[in-house]
Amino acid sequence: MGNISYEFPVEKDDFERAGEASSKIKKILRQLGMDSGIIRRVAIGAYEAEMNLVIHSLGGTIRIDIDPKSIIITAEDKGPGIHDINLAMKEGYSTATEKIREMGFGAGMGLPNMKRCSDIFEIQSIVGKGTKIVMKMNLKDGD
Ligand SMILES: Nc1ncnc2c1ncn2[C@@H]1O[C@H](COP(=O)(O)OP(=O)(O)OP(=O)(O)O)[C@@H](O)[C@H]1O
Ligand SMILES: [Mg+2]
């Protein structure tokens, strides 16, 4: 299998289309015949990253890079950035508004879940500039 990449734009506050990028990613992996366990981990990580772009960012992109050994999901946005990454990574920490919580988001579990689903999880953020998250999932032989 050669290397495969796709990139999906994600708009701020676009709840109408929220979840589309991660659904498409899931579909791509199903069509490639990937193992259901890895598809689940990638789908959760991509979905949480996508929702954070919709809810917390000014918009950005979700990218998937597939090679024979790994799947990499990269979420990159145009701001506002995260002041305290350690705090943001804590289970239960959320700055979501009441309105967002009424929609069922804001448990403060997205970033911890992304980390849990990944073999390698990296987050970089510059306040006023944006946030970049990279999740690498290793493929075993046969995935
Ligand atoms: N891309 C981002 N840009 C700016 N801030 C972010 C971004 N992603 C996360 N954050 C900040 O980190 C906090 C924690 O994120 P996390 O995904 O863990 O929880 P949540 O989105 O608030 O709730 P949940 O994901 O459970 O619905 C957010 O409330 C927000 O303050
Ligand atoms: Mg979240």
pLDDT range class, residue 142, cuts 50, 70, 90: low
The residue to which tokens 């289970």 are assigned: 91
Q: Is the CB of 60 under 6 A from ligand 1?
A: no
Specify the CATH number of the domain 4-138.
Answer: 3.30.565.10
pLDDT range class, residue 2, cuts 50, 70, 90: low
Domain boundaries defined on the chain: 4-138
pLDDT score, position 140? 83
The residue to which tokens 């009424």 are assigned: 102
Higher-pLDDT residue of 52 and 140 is 52
Between CA 108 and CA 136 the distance in angstroms is 21
Amino acid identity of 22?
S
Q: Locate 87 and state its tokens.
A: 């705090």
What are the tens digits of pLDDT across the range 55-74? 999 999 999 999 999 999 99
Amino acid identity of 138?
N
- Using DSSP's 3-state secondary structure scheme, residue 75 falls into strand
pLDDT score, position 143? 65
What are the tens digits of pLDDT across the range 77-134? 999 999 999 999 999 999 999 999 999 999 999 999 999 999 999 999 999 999 999 9
Q: Is the CB of 100 under 6 A from ligand 1?
A: no
**In angstroms, how far apart are the furthest CA atoms of the chain?**
46
Reported as type and span, the H/E element at residue 71 is strand 70-77
The residue to which tokens 């290793």 are assigned: 138
Q: Indicate the pTM of the whole model.
A: 0.97
The runs of H, that is alpha helices, within the chain are 20-31, 36-56, 85-88, 98-102, 110-117
Q: Which residue of 86, 94, 118 sits with most ligand 1 atoms within 8 Å of its CB, as the best mutation to test the pocket?
A: 94
Q: Is the CB of 52 under 6 A from ligand 1?
A: yes
